[in-house]
Structure 1
Amino acid sequence: MAYDSTDLRSTLPSSTAAAPAPERFSGSEHIQFRDLPPVEKHDDTSTWYARGQNFVVGYSEVDGTATFSREGQPDEYVVLLADDSLTAHARAAGEEVTASGRTMLVLPPGDSTVTVTGQGRVLRLLTTRSDDLAGLAANADSYAEPHANIPPLQPWPEPPEGYRIRAYDLTVPPLANPPFRLYRCTTFMVNFIDPKQGPRDPAKLSPHKHDDFEQCSIVLAGEYVHHIRWPWTSDKANWREDEHQRVTAPSVTVIPPPSLHTSEAVAAGTNHLIDVFCPPRFDFSAMEGWVFNAGDYPAPAGR
């Protein structure tokens, strides 16, 4: 892992897995919503979908009022308010919660409704057990066959205080370096990083890899280049070309394991990227104080 010594990620534990190196690799996914018509369009809302192996991202632009409902939802899901100009009223299991500004809402299994008012971006994160939405993803065909090197989805333990609506402030001070803001539930981990001005220093990139999970990088503002490199194996037929994929907001990129990757902000103005993982990451969760709501959601025993 190429982390600067001042980067907290340089202290992450190394993998001790003895599994053999994979011989087969899946490709990345780059979905640029501006290049596609919205899948759902109502008077006040336009919505696009993208997916990974275990998750679906619903991206909506709201100007007025939008209502998002789930009936018989099989597991927890997340609603992100990405702008200060939004207010959400959530209802589920006889409970009602109102939140304003940049907020992460966790909704319980079962029936729920989230009504959003204002002007801004709303993201919904659901597992692919919500097959009605998985089928709406722009890249749904890419997952007709499971992608390589990703184990089956296993939700994390239920919260000790039970399922309910939970709201987390996405404006609280982040970690120092890198300035991460990490929250998790039973199905997702979200790293809500603040917007940055100007390009990233090309001398301070952070190429790294994940052995057995996808990284979902969502660009909310600006432009990024996703640099991705796959391992070479003894069978040249399995080699893949390096990628240096430029994307503009709004976009979803799914980075496959075990590719080496780093993302470089390149726009002169505001750049904003957040990362999503499904299920939560064990390595980040093992670091004391990194996950801001760790008390609400225990990690699996023995990890």
Structure 2
Amino acid sequence: MSAARQATGGWHYREAPLADVDAGAHSWITRGANFVSVVTRAPAGTALRRADNPDEYMVVTHAVGVTISAGGETIIVEPDSVAIVPPGASSVTLAAEGEVVRIFSSNAADLAARASNAQAYDRHPEDVAPLDPWPMPVGGYRLRTYALADHVREGTNMRIFRSRNIMVNVMLPRVVPRDTAKLTPHSHADFEQGSLAIGGTYIHHLRYPWTPDLEEWRADEAVRMDSPSILIIPPTVIHTSRNVGEAPGLLIDVFAPPRADFSRREGLVANAADYPAPDGI
């Protein structure tokens, strides 16, 4: 049993953004083994362009809507939505000044190379399963958009969407600090979790599993992160997150490829009718 890797992340609120990814925009880029998170702040009318993206990517809007063009289509995406963009050329144009989140697979090699933690992924980690695409979407690739308000389910704060290569869980806002008697510590066997905070302050609790070698043991961590920020949690690391303070907590969890366990739960994935799961899941 080898020691779990150290968690990495992007503290966007205290890091200088990249100004040369998209003209007129400031972006923060952080990656996992199989995904890339891009948080962009830009004025109204700024177009975030991809000349020839190799596979699908997701756009998550919060307070600002966008217009997306790709594959010969153009759609208006309202605030508080998730959109899935097909491969090839595309543009995401902000309707007002603000922030937009884009989630790519690691196949977007140019973006992965610009990540603030790129050095941690010089080689694909052995503890992470490969990025194998899931089946084609029903009707083939096209622009799709989902209003988050339409996918609130009783008894859960999760709103889960998947594409062929990515899964996001855009959680309902937490308007009060999370009850510390109801935390959910857990770990994942062979995939990373990206916990992307776009509102509020979070404390991410991490416990690294012991190995036979005492010298490899690490103390528990309580990583405090304001917004925007993202923590990349490696496989086998026990973790749970809680929002603190007065500002509502807004958290997006990112996985690549899509999670089989979530996909097996009937009705949990909001767009499962558009994106079939592989046989046997």
| TM-score, normalised relative to structure 1 | 0.88
Distance 1:164 1:173, change over 3 A: closer
Does the alignment pair 1:47 with 2:20?
Answer: no
Matches within 5 A, 1:75-114: 75-83=55-63, 86-114=64-92
Question: After alignment, is 128-137 or 268-277 more displaced?
Answer: 268-277
Does the alignment pair 1:153 with 2:131?
Answer: yes
Query: Deviation at 1:44?
Result: 5.4
Out of 16, 30, 42, which is 2:9 matched to?
Answer: 30
Query: Deviation at 1:173?
Result: 4.2
Out of 52, 56, 77, which is 1:72 matched to?
Answer: 52
**Unaligned residue ranges in structure 1 (runs of 5+):** 1-21
Out of 261, 264, 268, which is 1:290 matched to?
Answer: 268
Deviations 1:187-224 (A, max 9, x none): 11111112222311111111011111101101111111
Matches within 5 A, 1:1-303: 22-40=1-19, 45-83=25-63, 86-303=64-281
Q: Runs of at least 4 residues of structure 1 off by over 2 A? A: 41-45, 145-148, 175-178, 235-241
Q: Percent identity?
A: 39
Preserved CA contact (<8 Å) 2:173 2:249: yes
Deviations 1:214-260 (A, max 9, x none): 01101111111110111112222332221111111110101111111
Preserved CA contact (<8 Å) 2:3 2:209: no
| TM-score, normalised relative to structure 2 | 0.94
Query: Deviation at 1:147?
Result: 2.7
Question: After alignment, is 35-44 or 212-221 more displaced?
Answer: 35-44
Rounded to whole Å, the distance in 1 between the matches of 2:212 and 2:104 is 37
Preserved CA contact (<8 Å) 1:82 1:120: no
Rounded to whole Å, the distance in 1 between the matches of 2:2 and 2:83 is 39
Rounded to whole Å, the distance in 1 between the matches of 2:170 and 2:99 is 14
Query: Deviation at 1:43?
Result: 8.0
CA RMSD of aligned residues (A): 1.6
Rounded to whole Å, the distance in 1 between the matches of 2:126 and 2:4 is 6
Rounded to whole Å, the distance in 1 between the matches of 2:190 and 2:261 is 12
SS of structure 1 residue aligned to 2:215 = helix
Aligned length: 280
